[in-house]
């Protein structure tokens, strides 16, 4: 290292952000992520034994993904090298791989390659890694803020262990803040203290993001003139001024998008208007397309409310139309109105479940013959083929009802009505008519009898499977 390199390194150290200056160097210094790094956990044992396989760390910003990779670099006897996928290309990958081959061949030394922001690599770049991960030339550690199941090649995922890092809790952030203030690397020439209210404000602002917390602290300290003896006291007012605007943690193409819309739908389904409105506000504040939200309202109106309150679909469609016509920001008002209505309305998913049950029945058994008396009889020769013979016009019967076969032979009745709201009233009417006019169908049972065993209104597991399929289509 020459004089200029030394000077450049010294300037780099002094100008380094606070989060980098106090970055943990050992596993014991890492705060939070106990479920991954606690004593005896698989990941901790692997790091301590220096027996790592390829790893993918993912989670929100400021949860310790890069820090964990650097701790591994300090711990392992393998050669550690890193790339940032934002700036690296295939040429960089080839260079790293060739160097790894030489190390392995000449000295038997393994190479750990850390790729930050690995989701930024395109398919070709990720494919370039694959054969060398598979044959052990490199051990890959990838870090990403995006869901790797969406952004990383399946072939790489199948050869890697995936660990999710969660936002830090308030106590973890408090410990981080106090440990930083006591760390001589943080503010070497200052003694910094925080008012309790300022500490609470910074922790609340951070929302689980350690880097955001430390950046706000650093700005507060550097913008506050110290006393003659080097003391800096951060009040609530100073802490508030160091935070210009609380960012909304939401990615319109990643986990934030899908997790929030999922929580929104489930809150309406669960009849919690406050939670539903909160998630609506979160999406709108983050700039989500209001037409996307309106589409989900229309789906929820039929899927979760259904015929328990048929007007819900009318309101949802009206909200969609209103958003299209008036735009934002006023469009938030009909969206909120429809959200509250769907949350408060009685619920039934019977139509939703029934159509999927019949789709599965058609897939399983194929299409059955339409009963002869229901076939079209309006063309010449129809009667000779038996079409329409024996059909009774429903409006000719008392109360416009006639008991006769409608389902094809061998097709079971799969619609199981709910008992709430309008649907409950409609089914009671049909059951009464069938009982009054001997409504035993030709399959030998009264399919809508009120004596039938009551079925649970919602099967959450099945609903979630169907919802995931719908979400995948929405993403495409």
Q: What is the CATH number of the domain that holds 62?
A: 3.40.50.300
pLDDT tens digits for range 395-451: 887 878 778 888 888 888 888 888 888 888 888 887 877 776 554 444 434 444 333
| Confidence grade of residue 476 (pLDDT, cut at 50, 70, 90) | very low
Residue 385 lies in a domain: no
Considering the domain architecture, whether residues 155 and 118 belong to the same structural domain is answered as yes
Question: Is 216 found in the same domain as 156?
Answer: no
Least confident span in 12-16, 42-46, 147-151, 430-434: 12-16
- Across 139-166, average pLDDT: 89
Domain assignment present for 120: yes
Which pLDDT belongs to residue 456?
38
Residue 160 and residue 263 in one domain: no
Predicted confidence band at 231 (pLDDT cuts at 50, 70, 90)?
very high
Is 384 part of a structural domain of the chain?
no
User: Span 132-150, mean pLDDT?
Assistant: 89
**What's the number of domains the chain is made of?**
4
Residues in the chain, overall count: 476
Q: Across the strands, what pairs with 140?
A: 113
Distance CA 304, CA 301 (A): 6
Residue 173: per-residue pLDDT? 94
Q: Are residues 68 and 98 in the same domain?
A: yes
Residue-wise pLDDT for 61-84, tens only, equals: 899 999 999 899 888 888 999 999
| Same domain? 293 vs 259 | yes
| Domain presence at residue 222 | yes
Same domain, 160 and 50: yes
Contacts of residue 40, Cβ cutoff 8 Å, sequence gap at least 6 = none
Same domain, residue pair 121 and 48: yes
Q: Confirm whether 22 is domain-assigned.
A: no
**Does residue 249 come out as left (phi exceeding 0), alpha (psi in the -120 to 50 range) or beta?**
beta
Paired with 164 in beta bridges are 58
pLDDT in tens, 313-332: 999 999 999 998 998 889 99
- In this prediction, residue 450 carries a pLDDT of 35
pLDDT-derived band of residue 123, with 50, 70 and 90 as boundaries? confident
CB neighbourhood size of 240 (10 A): 15
In CATH, what number is assigned to the domain containing residue 192? 1.10.8
Query: Worst-scoring range by mean pLDDT, 25-29, 111-115, 415-419?
Result: 415-419
In a domain? residue 170: no
Query: Which is more confident, 171 or 417?
Result: 171
* Segments forming the whole domain that contains residue 272: 255-344
Share of the chain above pLDDT 70, in %: 86
Domain boundary among 130, 164, 198: 164
pLDDT of residue 343: 94
What pLDDT does residue 14 have? Answer: 57
193 in the same domain as 236: yes
Residue 270 belongs to a domain = yes
Which of 295, 321, 344 is a domain's end point?
Answer: 344
Average pLDDT over residues 299-313: 93
Reported pTM: 0.58
Q: Which residue has the higher pLDDT, 218 or 420?
A: 218
Task: Clarify whether residues 331 and 309 are in a common domain.
Answer: yes
pLDDT in tens, 439-465: 444 443 444 433 333 333 344 444 554
Instruction: With cut-offs at 50, 70 and 90, classify the pLDDT of residue 182.
Output: very high
Most confident of the ranges 229-243, 361-375, 404-418, 436-450: 229-243
pLDDT-based confidence at residue 244 (cuts at 50, 70, 90): low
- Give CA angle at 360 (358, 364), nearest 5°: 115
Q: Do residues 159 and 50 share a domain? A: yes
Same domain, 152 and 68: yes
The pLDDT assigned to 364 comes to: 86
**Whole-number average pLDDT of the chain:** 83
Instruction: Please check whether residue 328 lies inside any domain of the structure.
Output: yes
Confidence at residue 318, expressed as pLDDT on a 0 to 100 scale? 96
Looking at 137, 164, 191, the residue that finishes a domain is: 164
User: Mind listing the pLDDT tens digit for each residue in 260-293?
Assistant: 899 999 999 999 999 999 999 988 988 888 999 9
Q: Do residue 214 and residue 259 come from a single domain?
A: no
The Cα-based distances of 241 to 227, 229, 249, 427 in angstroms read 19, 24, 21, 62
Residue 33 above 60 pLDDT? yes
Section 143-168 average pLDDT: 88
| CA-based radius of gyration for the chain | 32
Residue with tokens 């009464």: 432
Give the domain CATH number at 313.
Answer: 1.20.272.10
Q: What percent of the chain has pLDDT over 90?
A: 38
């Amino acid at each position: 290292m020459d004089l200029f390199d030394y000077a450049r390194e010294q300037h780099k150290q002094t100008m380094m952000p606070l989060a980098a200056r106090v970055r943990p160097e050992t596993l014991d210094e890492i705060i939070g992520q106990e479920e991954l790094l606690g004593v005896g956990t698989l990941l901790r044992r692997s790091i301590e034994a220096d027996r790592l396989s390829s790893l993918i760390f993912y989670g929100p910003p400021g949860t310790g993904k890069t820090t964990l990779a650097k701790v591994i670099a300090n711990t392992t006897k393998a050669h550690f090298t890193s790339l940032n996928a934002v700036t690296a290309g295939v040429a960089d990958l080839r260079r790293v791989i060739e160097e790894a081959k030489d190390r392995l061949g000449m000295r038997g030394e393994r190479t750990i390659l850390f790729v930050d922001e690995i989701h930024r690599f395109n398919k070709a770049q990720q494919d370039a890694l694959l054969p060398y991960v598979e044959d052990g030339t490199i051990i890959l550690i990838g870090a990403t803020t995006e869901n790797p199941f969406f952004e990383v090649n399946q072939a790489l995922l199948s050869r890697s262990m995936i660990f999710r890092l969660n936002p830090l809790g308030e106590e973890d952030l408090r410990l981080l803040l106090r440990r930083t203030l006591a760390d001589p690397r943080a503010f070497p020439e200052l003694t910094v203290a925080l008012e309790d209210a300022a500490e609470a404000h910074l922790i609340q602002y951070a929302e689980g993001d350690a880097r955001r917390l430390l950046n706000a602290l650093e700005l507060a300290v550097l913008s506050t003139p110290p006393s003659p003896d080097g003391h800096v006291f951060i009040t609530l007012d100073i802490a508030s001024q160091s935070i210009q605007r609380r960012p909304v943690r939401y990615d319109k193409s990643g986990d934030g998008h899908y997790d929030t819309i999922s929580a929104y739908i489930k809150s309406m389904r669960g009849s919690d208007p406050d939670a539903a409105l909160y998630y609506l506000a979160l999406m709108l504040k983050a700039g989500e397309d209001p037409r996307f939200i309106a589409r989900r309202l229309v789906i929820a109106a039929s899927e979760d409310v259904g015929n328990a309150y048929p007007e819900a679909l009318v309101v949802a469609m009206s909200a969609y139309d209103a958003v299209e016509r008036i735009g934002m920001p006023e469009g938030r008002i009909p969206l909120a109105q429809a959200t509250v209505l769907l949350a408060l309305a009685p619920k039934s998913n019977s139509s939703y479940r029934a159509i999927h049950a019949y789709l599965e029945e058609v897939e399983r058994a194929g299409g059955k013959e339409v009963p002869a008396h229901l076939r079209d009889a309006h063309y010449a020769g129809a009667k000779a083929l038996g079409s329409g013979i024996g059909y009774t016009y429903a409006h000719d019967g008392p109360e416009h009802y006639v008991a006769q076969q409608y389902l094809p032979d061998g097709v079971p009745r799969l619609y199981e009505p709910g008992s709430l709201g309008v649907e409950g009233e409609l089914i009671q009417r049909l059951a009464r008519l069938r009982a009054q006019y001997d409504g035993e169908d030709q399959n030998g049972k009264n399919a809508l009898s009120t004596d039938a065993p009551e079925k649970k209104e919602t099967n959450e597991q099945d609903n979630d499977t169907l919802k995931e399929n719908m979400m995948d289509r929405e993403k495409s």
